[in-house]
Amino acid sequence: MNAVTGTLVDIATADGTADAYLARPDDGRPRPGVLMYQDAFGVRPHLKAMADRLAAAGYAVLVPNVFYRHGRTPVVELPEFIDMAARPDIVGQVVPLMQALTPELTKRDAGAYLAWFAESPLVTDGPVGITGYCMGARLALYTAGAHPDRVAVAAGFHGGDLASEAPDSPHLLADRITAELYFAHADEDPSMPEEQVRRLEKALADAGVPHRCEVYAGAHHGYTQSDTAAYDPAAAERHWTELLALFGRVL
């Protein structure tokens, strides 16, 4: 594994400036780019540690603050350990931020993040990978569909509403996707019920998208996030095994 350097970068977008965390091997060599999409709680020490772990495997990992229109990180002040049952007020703070990030804004911002990769001397030429968590899994799917020429592989973990009946549900972009996809659902996740799991699988299969979808038994929504009450160490390590193998093969 490589020693890692973490820095803060600003990315110009059509609507302002997105602050982001960049983790990369500290040898200065250009590496394949990976876009890491946050969960609803935003860019914080835990997510930066995840980016560092991925970067140590040989990638330039960019973690943008997707809520940048509402302020720089931290957009919402969080406790060190996030327990929604003990702090229901957090929901009231993050839900409006999620709702304000429309699919069109997501796709537009993704173009800026991907352009930053293309221009950075720290990133190798060619398509990038994406990994997304909770709401970030939806952002990954939107990005893969909106920018098929730039995304080679995308993974989503404990994503919600990936295949809803909404007219802008991300699964409806399946016929535009050329990337290889991997989704690992939590089976104790009301935001991704069985009918949506089946609908996503069918959409990807019908569109001929190379993909694999799994349900992690006993895992809850948020199982990869070690600073939350939903954390499941076994499921989180399984996620690392699958993600590193996928990126190692495709990128």
CATH number at residue 195: 3.40.50.1820
pLDDT digit string, tens, across residues 42-79: 999 999 999 999 999 999 999 999 999 999 999 999 99
Average pLDDT, the chain: 97
pLDDT digit string, tens, across residues 101-111: 999 999 999 99
221 a catalytic residue: yes
Per the structure, how many domains does the chain have?
1
CA distance 224 to 234: 9
| Residue span of the structural domain in which 177 resides | 4-250
Q: Which of 39, 109, 189, 227 is catalytic?
A: 189
pLDDT at 86 over 90: no
134 a catalytic residue: yes
- 74 upstream amide cis, omega within 30 of 0: yes
pLDDT digit string, tens, across residues 10-27: 999 999 999 999 999 999
Q: Which of 39, 46, 109, 134 is catalytic?
A: 134
**Could you tell me the pLDDT band of residue 184, with boundaries at 50, 70 and 90?**
very high
15 a catalytic residue: no
For the entire predicted model, the pTM comes to: 0.98
Higher pLDDT, 130 or 86: 130
Q: Which of 185, 220, 221, 239 is catalytic?
A: 221
CA distance 84 to 92: 11
Distances (CA, A) of 119 to 11, 112, 149: 11, 11, 16
